């Protein structure tokens, strides 16, 4: 078996098919309150239906975790998608163009613990990334693309090294396609 046959292949999309800086925060502005609202509703129902649950904050926290996992992992990878993805016409896919794994989306969800700083990191990272992947997408090996986007082509999945805030990260990504000719024109005018 040659080295080329052993290299996994992934897909890439046209630049305009990736959901960019303007729409990504809007998805979060819809999905985060919906998930918290659903969590609160489940906790209130549990307090009402199950006696003694209100005295156990651990149960309430567990219920909130289950709701967040269901909403941000299971629902997001399904064909139904979350409300934010539905409203803004987006979907999340893995590097091969299919639904991401549960483990990938769970890893992506852990960036919620960064809190509001996650929004700033996303803005910083998205503006310079060729595939418009946020840092959480780089870690998870996912793209956020328009709903009916089709891959523009395929290429090898390579491991690239990134330095960020004094740390070194290795991310899998797909590079392919001809560079955008407009970029060359803009650079030539400078």
DSSP codes, 102-158:
HHHHHHHHGGGGGTHHHHHHHHHHHHH-TT---HHHHHHTEEEEETT---SEEEEEE
Greatest Cα pair distance, the chain, in angstroms, is 71
Asked, for residue 171, whether it belongs to a domain, the answer is: no
For 109-147, write each residue's pLDDT tens digit: 998 877 777 778 777 788 888 888 988 999 999 999 999
Asked, for residue 47, whether it belongs to a domain, the answer is: yes
Asked, for residue 123, whether it belongs to a domain, the answer is: yes
**What's this model's pTM, rounded to 2 decimal places?**
0.82
Asked, for residue 173, whether it belongs to a domain, the answer is: no
* Domain that residue 104 falls in: 14-150
For 143-176, write each residue's pLDDT tens digit: 999 999 999 999 999 999 988 778 898 999 997 7
Number of domains in the chain: 1
Asked, for residue 78, whether it belongs to a domain, the answer is: yes
Give me 116's structure tokens.
């509001």
Which residues is 146 bridged to in the sheet?
90
Asked, for residue 188, whether it belongs to a domain, the answer is: no
Asked, for residue 43, whether it belongs to a domain, the answer is: yes
């Amino acid at each position: 078996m040659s080295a080329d046959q052993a290299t996994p292949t992934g897909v890439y999309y046209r630049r305009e098919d990736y959901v960019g800086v303007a729409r990504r925060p809007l998805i979060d502005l819809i999905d985060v309150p919906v998930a918290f609202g659903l969590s609160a509703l489940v906790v209130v129902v549990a307090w009402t239906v199950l006696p003694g649950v209100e005295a156990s904050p651990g149960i309430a926290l567990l219920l909130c975790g289950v709701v967040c996992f269901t909403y941000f992992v299971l629902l997001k990878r399904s064909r139904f998608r979350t409300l934010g993805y539905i409203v803004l016409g987006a979907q999340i896919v893995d590097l091969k163009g299919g639904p991401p794994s549960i483990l990938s989306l769970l890893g992506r969800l852990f960036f919620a613990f960064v809190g509001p700083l996650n929004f700033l990191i996303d803005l910083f990272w998205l503006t310079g990334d060729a595939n418009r992947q946020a840092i959480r997408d780089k870690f998870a090996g996912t793209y956020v693309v328009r709903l009916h986007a089709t891959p523009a082509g395929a290429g090898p999945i390579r491991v690239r090294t990134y330095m960020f805030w004094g740390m070194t990260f290795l991310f899998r990504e797909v590079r392919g396609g001809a560079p955008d000719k407009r970029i060359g024109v803009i650079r030539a005018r400078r």
